[in-house]
A = this chain, B = another copy of it.
Amino acid sequence: MKNYINLIIAFLISISTFAQEKPVKIVFDVTSNDTIVHQSTIRHVKAMSKAYPESEFEVVMYSGSIDMVLKEKSSVAFDLEVLAKNENITFVICEGTMKRHKIDASEIIPGVTSVPDGILEIIQKQAEGWGYIKEGQ
């Protein structure tokens, strides 16, 4: 009996060791309409992706942050488009937010993808073990 308990413990330890060794995954939550928040988000993603190239980053924009992804209005359009070309960096805008602001896909910065629901996207990433960072003042 004791052997099986040891076996289970060893197995659980091996799972947890594996978990610690894998690269970080971070989902960033951006809801602010403040360009300072948009700029610091880009700075964070740029610095983190440079320091941890094996890691994965996803920036989810919804609620008040719609301007951040608009070609004509974003204060970070250039950097965002360049960063989005990295395989391990994803920028997603909430389709509910697009609809509410009457935004057409053609107005969005190239490379930004969309999800039906920004909050659900974040919660699902959390459930998959991604770290969560709320951007904001």
Chain B residues whose C-beta falls within 8 Å of the C-beta of A36 in the assembled complex: 64
A5 to B19, CA, bound (A): 18
Given contacts A64-B40, A127-B20, contact A26 B134 (CB under 8 A): no
Can you tell how many copies of this chain the complex includes?
3
Q: Chain B residues with Cβ under 8 A from A127's Cβ?
A: 19-20, 24, 129, 131
The residues in A between 98 and 137 inclusive whose CB is less than 8 angstroms from any CB of B are 117, 119-120, 122-124, 126-127, 129, 131-137
* Chain B residue at smallest Cβ distance from A41: B63
Contact A131 B137 (CB under 8 A): no
Q: A11-B8, A136-B137, A137-B136 are in contact. Are A122 and B126 (CB under 8 A)?
A: no
Residues of B within 8 A of A135 (CB): 31
- C-alpha spacing A126/B64, complex, angstroms: 25
